[in-house]
Structure 1
Amino acid sequence: MDMQLRLDQAIAKGNEKLVFPHPESDDLLIKVISDQFRRTMDYKFSISTRLRRLTYYWPYIKEVSEHIYLREGKVKDTHFVQEFKGFVDTNLGLGITVRAVKKHTGELADTLHKLISSKEFNQKHIDGLIDLLKWLEQTFIVVRDLRTVNIVWDEINGHFVVIDGIGSRRLPSLRTISRLYNQRANRRCTAKLRRLVNKELKKSGYELLF
């Protein structure tokens, strides 16, 4: 039987996916492809949408491939990426389950954006962000969308976690073929994130920049 999800219970909405609390476990979340993304694919790629296999699910394919890479490549410090748990059938289509990142209170972890806007961002977060960016630049995982809303602070374990934007944008991708090209692309992503963080810090009145 499909797991039943209600649209009004979504806790996050992105360009591609909706995120829901798992009805049977407080430690898990469920991500499903949004109707908005399906309509976008139909509008932008009307012919290929009808011809290509699993057109709507390429975000899953690319994301899961990176989790396989992390596991099979025996990459160290995989805690920087949200843990993938598996697939689940829902009334809204095929979903993927991931480990929820939480605070000591049991609430979902704050995003980097929220930490800055609420003026809770401090030196430990700067150190944690440096560690995350260094890891992204040194490994060969593919990241495509590093934004302050896609990164959360794991308060319990004291490090940042990327919760979205993993995997290349399209199939096929040169980033999955050339390590050098992908590493350069990741460095461009981390440089862009640094600029975004400093912009948000200035907007929130911080004197300390990252």
Structure 2
Amino acid sequence: MLVLKDIIGKGNERLCFKHPEFESKCVKVTYNQKRGRSDESKIEHNYFKKVKKRVSNLNDVPIALVHHWVDTDQGKGLLCDRVNDYCGKVSKSLDYYRKNQLISTRSINHGIERLLEKLVQHAICINYIHDRNILVQFTNENDFRFILIDGLGNTNLIPLGYWFKKFARKQTARRFYKKYPEIYNTYKSYKN
């Protein structure tokens, strides 16, 4: 059983802890299961199993990889890759960089477009998108990429995006456009 101490992130329903032994891993544990809602960790885990079967090179997909369930002192947890910068520090959220104006709006929009392009290319379904769920991973002092760490899967009653890539692509592009209307030109190319 893993003993979890260091919280590196907190969402509406889950806490994210540093793995006590491995710097490259983290554990997501549900702390606030909302009534009537599906368990985010189960959705993410089940969906990622589908992604693994469909995508040959997971390193090309800008999402934190999901591994398996682990027992922890906080309950059942989902073991995932931890997103670290080139220097080893935990990557910070897009929300952090936006609020502190540490990255230009132009660079942010370009990063969002690149993230969307990769997700659409690989037909990755997303439930929701938010700046807190996108990490800015610096690959060196000047270059970075965006990594989606939460919101994978599909909670639609009939999740067509699970079975049909075309639906996954359209749904993901539509959700990005609703959140980030400034990337409409990128969205237009995926609409048809």
TM-score by length of 1: 0.73
Residues in 2 aligned to 1:92 and 1:194: alpha-carbon distance in whole angstroms: 35
Letter of the 1:194 counterpart: Y
Q: Is the Cα–Cα contact under 8 Å of residues 66 and 141 in structure 1 kept in the other structure?
A: no
2:89 is matched with which residue?
107
Residue 173 of structure 2 corresponds to residue 190 of structure 1: no
Higher relative strand content: 2
Task: Give the direction of change, closer, same or farther, for the CA distance of 1:86–1:24 in structure 2 (3 Å limit).
Answer: same
Residues in 2 aligned to 1:124 and 1:196: alpha-carbon distance in whole angstroms: 12
2:4 is matched with which residue?
5
2:46 is matched with which residue?
65
1:18 is matched with which residue?
15
Residues in 2 aligned to 1:84 and 1:111: alpha-carbon distance in whole angstroms: 18
Task: Give the direction of change, closer, same or farther, for the CA distance of 1:192–1:133 in structure 2 (3 Å limit).
Answer: same
Letter of the 2:131 counterpart: T
Give the drift of 1:150: 0.3
Give the SS at the match of 2:129.
coil
Give the drift of 1:191: 0.2
Q: Is the Cα–Cα contact under 8 Å of residues 148 and 193 in structure 1 kept in the other structure?
A: no
RMSD of aligned Cα (Å): 2.6
Q: Is the Cα–Cα contact under 8 Å of residues 147 and 196 in structure 1 kept in the other structure?
A: no
2:67 is matched with which residue?
85
Give the drift of 1:125: 4.1
TM-score by length of 2: 0.79
1:138-171 CA distance string (max 9 Å, x none)? 3322101111110011102731100000011267
1:137 is matched with which residue?
120
Query: What percent identity do the matched residue pairs reach?
Result: 22
Q: Which has the larger radius of gyration?
A: 1
Residues in 2 aligned to 1:181 and 1:104: alpha-carbon distance in whole angstroms: 35
2:187 is matched with which residue?
none
Letter of the 1:108 counterpart: V
Give the drift of 1:30: 0.7
Count of aligned pairs: 178
Structure 1, 115-124 or 174-183: larger mean CA deviation: 174-183
Give the drift of 1:137: 2.7
Residues in 2 aligned to 1:31 and 1:73: alpha-carbon distance in whole angstroms: 24
2:150 is matched with which residue?
164
1:175-205 CA distance string (max 9 Å, x none)? 32443333221121110231389xxxxxxxx
1:28 is matched with which residue?
25
1:121 is matched with which residue?
103
Residue 133 of structure 2 corresponds to residue 150 of structure 1: yes
Residues in 2 aligned to 1:127 and 1:59: alpha-carbon distance in whole angstroms: 28
Q: Is the Cα–Cα contact under 8 Å of residues 82 and 101 in structure 1 kept in the other structure?
A: yes
Unaligned 5+ segments in structure 1 are: 46-55, 198-210
Residues in 2 aligned to 1:186 and 1:111: alpha-carbon distance in whole angstroms: 20
